Amino acid sequence: MMALFHGLHTCEGGKDVANMAKNAPIGDNHRNGAMRYRTQSYNPVTGNWTKRDTAIGRFMDCKQDGTPFKGVRKESIR
């Protein structure tokens, strides 16, 4: 007889696997928690926010509407 543990369920292969975290409900445009290892900075010349991967250092995306990315921390100006 297979014992079930708290937070585990049995998949079709018979192995116990952990339940996946969910950001439900889907489609409400909401994130639980911030994006880790990503930052954003404001470019005053263009007026756009640029998202950057802090692990690699490359620029990932640029927002054209002038508003910051949701759930991405802002880089501190030193």
What distance in Å separates the CA atoms of residue 12 and residue 53, rounded to the nearest whole number?
37
Tally Cβ neighbours within 10 Å of residue 76: 7
User: Is residue 24 a part of any domain in this protein?
Assistant: no
User: Is residue 13 a part of any domain in this protein?
Assistant: no
pTM, 2 dp: 0.57
Q: What is the pLDDT of residues 17-57, one digit of tens each?
A: 566 666 678 888 777 777 788 999 999 999 999 999 999 99
Is pLDDT at 1 greater than 50 in this prediction? no
As given in the structure block, the two tokens for residue 13 are 């292969």
User: Is residue 14 a part of any domain in this protein?
Assistant: no
* Number of domains into which the chain is organized: 1
Domain that holds residue 64: 35-72
User: Is residue 20 a part of any domain in this protein?
Assistant: no
User: Is residue 10 a part of any domain in this protein?
Assistant: no
User: Is residue 4 a part of any domain in this protein?
Assistant: no
Cα torsion angle, 6, 30, 34, 57, sign: positive
